[in-house]
Amino acid sequence: MEPGNNKATLTLSDGSSYQLDEDSAAIKSDSSGIYYKDGKAIVDNLSSPVMATIRTPNGGQYHLTLPDGTQVTLNAASSLSYPTRFTGDSRTVALTGEGYFEVAKTRHSRLF
């Protein structure tokens, strides 16, 4: 069986949709926007957090870095919804299908 191709669609909660570049294997989200691994902007200047959903078709796969640094590889016929900014102590996402997560450690700072 051959591996899937880099195919995915990114949809934001405002309804805007972006067909992700097949030549790029990964995107990353941070507090200011969503970018390809090489730094090219897909969505920039996000003034407030929105929900983003990445969907892969049959035979597709895609890699993304969530705003907290967690790495996710999304398998074929799967989707992942996540906020473009995590707030508070919760890091909640919704996965349908298959995804491999390398969860970033939470850094807690305490003053004594």
Query: Token pair for residue 26?
Result: 């990964």
Mean pLDDT on 10-38 = 93
pLDDT tens-digit map of 46-81: 888 899 999 999 999 999 999 999 999 999 999 999
User: Which among 17, 20, 16 has a CA at the least distance from the CA of 5?
Assistant: 20
Domain boundaries, the chain: 5-102
